[in-house]
Every structure is written in C-alpha cells, then in structure tokens.
Structure 1
C-alpha cells in the first residue's frame, strides 16, 4: 500500500497557502500567546491563509533590515507572491535612551531610513507597498516600566515622549512608502484616556492591549484578505462516496 500511496500523492500539486507575515520585535513574538493579537488574526484567517509569526524579542529596525532577506527571498520578485500582507512593527526597542540602553538604541533618522529600506526589500520580493502595514510603537507607561528596569538592575531606559517621536517617524515613513500605518501611540492615548490598561508592564501589551491591536489591525488588514478563498471544501460538501473527487482536485 505504501508505494501506491506515494504514487497517488505525487500526481497532485501541494497546496500553497497564502501568508500574512507578522514581522517585529517582542510585541509581535508574544502575539501568539493566549488572547494575543496575532493569535486572534490567525483565528480569523483559519482555512484562508497562514499567519506566520516572525517576531524577534529585543530586536530593533537595524537588525531587522539586515535579517529580512534571510526570512523572505528578496532577490526574486515572483518568489513570495503568495504573501497577502506583511506587518512591520518595530520601534519599541529603537527608542531606548542612548545613554541607558545603547545596545538596542537606534537614532531616529536611522530608524526612519531602516523602515523605508525594509519596504524596498519587501518590494524586491514582490510584496507591494499596499500589502505592507506599518505599526508604530505603543505608548510607554513609565512608572510601570521603571519598576521592571529596577528589578533588572538598571534605571528607566525609555521615555514615552521619545516613543512618540519614533511613532511619528513611523507614520511619516509609511506615508512616503505608500503603505498604511496603525498609529498605536496616538490611538491608545486618544482623548486623554488611561493608556496604562493596554500595557502589562509599561511596555508590552496586556490582554486589553492585545484586543486593541487586533481590532484596529483587522480594520486595515481585512480588505487585503477579503478575496482569499476558503481552502478545501467545507466538510459537509465532501462527497463521502468519492472524497478524492473534491479533496484532490486543484482549486
């Protein structure tokens, strides 16, 4: 039976699922945790595409720019045309204070140029600017983050006002690239609301913060994935007498 099975499978092309790639730092890496924003997006897109987590805790835009060609083939504009969308979510580490956290700090102008370079690399891989969504760093709640820093033996190494400068640079870079942007720094502080509820430790997202990101990101993402078909038949539509007739046919 094994040789027959191998022969049958060899006649049919492997199904290539479209992808939504989440590219960012720890806020992206942690997004697949329970009730995380990435997990929620993946749930919405089940059976339509793969949501791929490429979050890298502690990374900044400088390292992301260098690494991206190892994650996506940036030398072949046709290689990754199955990519429906990419989120680019850096800045929370770039905006660290130069004198307190020089390892992660990236100067503001370089940060902006790095984002634009990432956009060009994605374009060289066939991912057009209209399929890229930039996400700004969220606001920083300094009292809570200072406690985290002290526990690790260091002084407060970020300021909310500086995070705001990087958020503004992200918005401007997205506009110059022709991409949409989710401005978390502004939205989470809109109308003077208590944005600390969106953060678990002053920097990373709480459950409410994850819900906030998921809701607002979906508003931007939905139009990019609306036309993706449901992959493989609904179970009730499978011909029980001849399941091969629909399960092995090309969509």
Structure 2
C-alpha cells in the first residue's frame, strides 16, 4: 500500500470485469473519475462462473471486512448473438449464450438481490434502452465496447448518487486527496496561488 489510505472500490467478476480497462472500458472510466478519491482495484477472472468465484471469495475479500463495506451487483448484460457466432465461427459448434438466457439469469439475480437488500443494476435492460445497442455496445457480442461501458458507468454512478450510505461513495461527495491550499501551488496572473485539485476539464464526458 502506498500513500494515505483511500477507500477501495473492488471490481470482482469474470471477463467483463477483467477486460474493463480495455477499449476505454468502465473500469478505466471509474479509475479516472475517482482519481484522488478512491482506488479502483481490478479482480476480474476471464472464463469464470459464480461457482468458481466462490472458491476464492475468502482470498479476495478478507472475512474482517469493514462494517462500511457496500455491495453493488451488476446483472448480466444482453448479448449480440449474431456477433458472437461471427466471432466464434469455427471454434464452437453451439452458441453457449443467448440473449434470452441472459434475461432469465439477470432477472433471477436481480430478484435475489432485492430479497437480500443488495443494490443491483439491471444491465440487461439498461443497455437495450439504446436503439443501436446491438451494434454499438459490444466488441465481440459479449464484452463491452466503450459505448457499452459508458452505460455501465452511468448506472453505477446513479446508484452511488442515490444511495443513503454513510459515508457517501458518490465521487462528487468524497474528499479529494491533498486538496488543501499550499504555497507551492500554481501562481496565477494576479500573483495568487491557484488550487487546481478539483478541476477536471480533460475528459470527453462531464459525469454526473
């Protein structure tokens, strides 16, 4: 661990998590948004299912988790079946995942989260709100493109903004590391120092 302790946001899952820093992915976007506020920790394992993940759960998340630990479940996103067939042509005889099977799985998981009072995001529905989701949201029919990832980030930020968690994990409500004024700050034309720790103008999107 380096520097002062920051809140940690752990991304845990299969390939959609592992690849979340590729193609301007949702993990990379979150790391940019939460710069100087929280550390985004990637724990994605391509090809895994929930049974495989349970085998290492205690190694990823210690049993002594803080009472302030919060969970957000990301439901299964939809898929572009035609694009999957194109991508897997000659590799597999049978399509292993369909959009309908994703819907059934997603609805079951979202229902369970509600029963357990765990915040959940219905990605299967959220991505399909976009008219061109079939062509815009995927790299290979399953994994998310930059456009698909933006939808994921929007949904995560919405949950964090509306959650009544104390302390808040919504990025605009979190303190910025080393944001205090310093005599070593940039000096403006008027001879006064300028604190730029809260300025974020480089991004293409101004996130809510």
Into which bin does the TM-score normalised by the smaller protein fall? 0.7 to 0.9
Name whichever structure is richer in helix by fraction: 1
Report what 1:171 is aligned to.
110
The 3-state SS of whatever aligns with 1:54 is: strand
Are the aligned partners of 1:29 and 1:56 in contact in 2 as well (CA < 8 Å)? Answer: yes
Q: Secondary structure at the match of 1:225?
A: coil
Deviation at 1:215, TM superposition (A): 1.5
Q: Which residue of 2 aligns with 1:20?
A: 9
1:229 aligned to 163, 175, 187, which one?
A: 175
Please report the RMSD computed on the Cα atoms of aligned residues, expressed in angstroms.
2.1
Structure 1 contact 141–202 (Cα < 8 Å) conserved = yes
Q: CA shift at 1:25, angstroms?
A: 0.9
More moved, 223-232 vs 206-215: 223-232
1:47 deviates by 0.5
Structure 1 residue 34: deviation in Å? 4.2
Give 1:203's aligned residue.
Answer: 142
* Residue in structure 1 matching 2:124, options 185, 200, 221: 185
Structure 1 counterpart of 2:97, from 147, 153, 158: 158
Shift of 1:228: 2.7
Q: Deviations over 1:16-71 (max 9, x none)?
A: 11101111111111111241111111111110110111111111111111211101
Aligned residues: 175
Residue in 1 that maps onto 2:28: 39
**CA distances 1:138-177 after superposition (whole Å, capped 9, x unpaired):** 1111111112222424321111111110000111111012
What displacement does 1:135 show? 0.8
Structure 2 alignment gaps of length 5 or more: 185-208
Q: Does 1:238 align with 2:188?
A: no
Are 1:66 and 2:55 matched, yes or no? yes
Q: Which runs of 4+ in 1 moved over 6 A?
A: none
**TM-score of the superposed pair, with normalisation by structure 1:** 0.64
Q: Which residue of the other structure, out of 55, 67, 70, is the alignment partner of 2:44? A: 55
Instruction: Decide whether the 8 Å contact of 1:149 with 1:157 is kept in 2.
Output: no
Structure 1: gaps (5+ residues): 1-12, 82-125, 241-251
User: 1:63 aligns to what SS in structure 2?
Assistant: helix
User: Which residue of 2 is the match for residue 145 of structure 1?
Assistant: 84
